[in-house]
A = this chain, B = another copy of it.
Amino acid sequence: MNVRTLCLGILSLQEASGYEIKKDVEDGLFSHFIDASFGSIYPALTQLTAEGYVTVREEEQTGKPDKKVYAITEAGRNALARAISVSPAKDKYKSEFLFQMLLQDYLSPEMMLVAIQKQLDDLNEDLARIAECSHEAAIGHGSHFVADYGNAVLTAGVKCLEYKKAELLQQMAARAAE
């Protein structure tokens, strides 16, 4: 799935500017399973406009720079329905943290502890973000689904890491006592 389809999907839920789409995928409910940079979002919106899948409207703002608000068209909705009907690609998960843990022989126990704590912080931050977004009214079935899935997976990660952290602290204490 490319960034064009991604933008179309977000615009099917609400009108947005490029900047707002970026915020959605960075801090919003989608942040834990979607990512895209300005460098792909802005060209995608330009192309979608040229294809007639979205419309643009320049909006003046007080206290902020003007923005271009994009809205999905009927043709856009059809294109989106077509795009998400194909069997999706398998999930992609990339973790430099796990790569580090795999090569833990190169790390001191202290550095491992720092890495584990950072991962725990990241996971808890994601959980907090989901909780925050879920409080917001007017979210549909889809949002509940992804929030539930995200909670389940992230919570499991936290639980596993808390255990690993305790295990490591015990080992460090034992080594210090020697």
Which residues of A are at the interface with B, using a C-beta cutoff of 8 A? 1, 6, 9, 12-13, 30, 32-35, 80-81, 84-85, 87-107, 111, 114-115, 118-119, 122, 140-143, 145-146, 148-150, 152-153, 155-157, 159-161, 164
Dominant secondary structure at the A interface: helix
Q: Known contacts A34-B99, A93-B92, A115-B88; decide if A104 and B142 are in contact (CB<8 Å).
A: yes
Q: How many copies does the complex hold?
A: 2
A98 to B145, CA, bound (A): 8
A96 and B102 within 8 A (CB): no
Interchain nearest-CB distance for A17 vs B (Å):
20
Closest 6 CB pairs of A and B: A156-B156, A88-B96, A152-B160, A33-B95, A102-B142, A33-B98
